[in-house]
Amino acid sequence: MAGELSETITLAQAETDLTHEGEGGDAATEADHGAATEQGAATDHGTEAAGHEDAALHEGTEAGGHAAPAVFPPFNPATFGSQILWLALTFGVLYLLMSRFALPRIGEILEVRRDRVEGDLAEADRLRQKTDQAIEAYEQDLADARAKAHGIAESTRDEIRKDLDGQRAKVEADLSKKMAAAEARIQETKTSAMSHVDEIASDTATSLVSQLLGTVPAKSVNSAVSAVIKETQNGN
Amino acid sequence: MADNANPIEPIHQFEISNFFTFGTIGGDGTEGSGVEIAFTNSALFMVLTVLVIAGFLILSTRGRGLVPGRMQLLAEMCYEFIANMVRTSAGTEGMRFFPFVFSLFMFILIANLFGMFPYFFTVTSHLIVAVMLALMVFITVVVYGFMRNGFGFFKLFVPSGIPWYVMWLVVPIEFISFLSRPLSHSLRLFGNILAGHIVLKVFGGMVVALLAAGAWAPLAILPFGMAVALTGLEFLVAALQAFVFAVLTCVYLNDAIHPGH
- Return the domain boundaries, chain B: 36-257
Cross-chain residue pair A83–B25, CB shorter than 8 Å = no
Contact B91, B33 (CB under 8 A): no
Is pLDDT at A138 greater than 90 in this prediction? yes
On whether residue A216 sits in a domain, the answer given is: no
pLDDT band (50, 70, 90) for residue B6: low
pLDDT at site B7 = 55
**Residue A83 at interface with chain B, using a CB cutoff of 8 Å:** yes
The candidate with the shortest Cα–Cα distance to B224, out of B206, B239, B242, is B206
pLDDT band (50, 70, 90) for residue A66: very low
Q: Which is more confident, A68 or A151?
A: A151
With CA atoms as reference, the chain B residue closest to A52 would be B31
On whether residue A203 sits in a domain, the answer given is: no
Is pLDDT at B227 greater than 80 in this prediction? yes
Contact B153, B256 (CB under 8 A): yes
Within 13 Å of residue B107, how many CA atoms lie on the same side as its CB? 31
Cross-chain residue pair B32–A67, CB shorter than 8 Å = yes
Is pLDDT at B2 greater than 60 in this prediction? no
Cross-chain residue pair A105–B58, CB shorter than 8 Å = yes
With CA atoms as reference, the chain A residue closest to B44 would be A86
Helix (H, G, I), strand (E, B) or coil at A71: coil
On chain B, the residues whose CB falls within 8 A of the CB of A52 are 31
**Residue A94 at interface with chain B, using a CB cutoff of 8 Å:** yes
Is pLDDT at B38 greater than 80 in this prediction? yes
Lowest-confidence segment of A195-199, B30-34, B46-50 by average pLDDT: B30-34
Is pLDDT at A117 greater than 50 in this prediction? yes
**Residue A102 at interface with chain B, using a CB cutoff of 8 Å:** yes
Question: Buried b vs exposed e over B53-91: b needs ≥16 C-beta within 10 Å?
Answer: bbebbbebbeeeeeebeeebeebbebbeebbebbbebbe
On whether residue A231 sits in a domain, the answer given is: no
Is pLDDT at A236 greater than 80 in this prediction? no
pLDDT tens-digit series, residues A70-79:
678 888 888 8
**Residue A82 at interface with chain B, using a CB cutoff of 8 Å:** yes
Residue B21: enclosing H or E segment and its boundaries?
A: strand B18-25
User: How far apart are the CA of B185 and the nearest CA of chain A, in angstroms?
Assistant: 17
User: Which residues of A, range 104-133, sit inside 8 Å of B by Cβ?
Assistant: 105-110, 112-113, 116
Residues paired with residue B18 on neighbouring β-strands, in sequence order: B40
User: Which residues of A, range 209-228, sit inside 8 Å of B by Cβ?
Assistant: none
Nearest-by-Cβ selection for A103 from B2, B99, B136? B99
The total number of structural domains that make up chain A = 1
On whether residue A59 sits in a domain, the answer given is: yes
Cross-chain residue pair B125–A85, CB shorter than 8 Å = no
Q: How many secondary structure helices (H) and strands (E) does chain A include? A: 8, 0
The candidate with the shortest Cα–Cα distance to B131, out of B77, B190, B91, is B190
Q: What percentage of chain B has pLDDT greater than the value 70?
A: 93
Cα–Cα distance for residue pair A77/A85, rounded to 1 Å: 13
Q: How many secondary structure helices (H) and strands (E) does chain B include? A: 7, 2
Mean confidence (pLDDT) of chain A: 75
User: How far apart are the CA of A112 and the nearest CA of chain B, in angstroms?
Assistant: 8
Cross-chain residue pair B65–A109, CB shorter than 8 Å = yes
Q: Which amino acid is at A105?
A: R
User: How far apart are the CA of A129 and the nearest CA of chain B, in angstroms?
Assistant: 27
**Structural domain of A42:** 2-71
Lowest-confidence segment of A29-38, A62-71, B101-110 by average pLDDT: A29-38
Is pLDDT at A44 greater than 70 in this prediction? no
Lowest-confidence segment of B25-29, B132-136, B219-223 by average pLDDT: B25-29
Within 8 A by CB and 6+ apart from A157, the residues are none
DSSP string, B55-71: HHHHHHTTT--SS--HH
SS3 content of chain B, % helix, strand, coil (to 5): 75, 5, 20
On whether residue A232 sits in a domain, the answer given is: no
Residues paired with residue B24 on neighbouring β-strands, in sequence order: B36
User: How far apart are the CA of B169 and the nearest CA of chain A, in angstroms?
Assistant: 35
On whether residue A53 sits in a domain, the answer given is: yes
Residue B20: enclosing H or E segment and its boundaries?
A: strand B18-25
User: How far apart are the CA of A12 and the nearest CA of chain B, in angstroms?
Assistant: 16
Nearest-by-Cβ selection for A101 from B39, B58, B125? B58
Is pLDDT at B93 greater than 80 in this prediction? yes
Lowest-confidence segment of A29-33, A171-175, B188-192 by average pLDDT: A29-33
pLDDT at site B145 = 93
Residue B38: enclosing H or E segment and its boundaries?
A: strand B35-40
Q: Which of B1, B33, B190 to mutate to test the interface with A (most CBs of A within 10 A)?
A: B1
Lowest-confidence segment of A199-213, B120-134, B155-169 by average pLDDT: A199-213
pLDDT at site A123 = 95
pLDDT band (50, 70, 90) for residue B156: confident
Cross-chain residue pair B35–A102, CB shorter than 8 Å = no
